[in-house]
Amino acid sequence: MSKGGMPIMSRFTAFAIHLGISVAIFLALLMVIVFIWYPGVYFATDGGWQGIRLIAAIDVVLGPLLTLIVFRSGKPGLRRDLTIIGIVQTAALSFGIWIVHSERPVLVVFAHDRFVTLNREQVARAEDRAIAMVKQAERLPEYAYVRLPEDAKGLNDITRQALRIGKLPYLLGDRYEYLGPANVPVILRYAVDIERLVKDKPADQERLQAFIQNHAGALADYTFVPLKGRYKLILFAFAHKNLRPLGPLDIDSSDLVSSF
Question: What residues pair up with 222 in beta bridges, in sequence order?
Answer: 239
Say what the pLDDT of residue 258 is: 63
Asked whether the predicted pLDDT for residue 224 surpasses 90, the reply is yes
Q: What is the CA radius of gyration of the chain?
A: 24
Exposed/middle/buried for residue 68 (C-beta within 10 Å: 0-12, 13-18, 19+): middle
Instruction: Say which amino acid occupies 205.
Output: Q
CA–CA separation, 92 and 75 (whole Å): 26
This prediction has a pTM of 0.85
| Mean pLDDT of the chain, nearest integer | 89
pLDDT band at 70 (very low <50, low <70, confident <90, very high): confident
Q: What is the mean pLDDT of residues 113-122?
A: 95
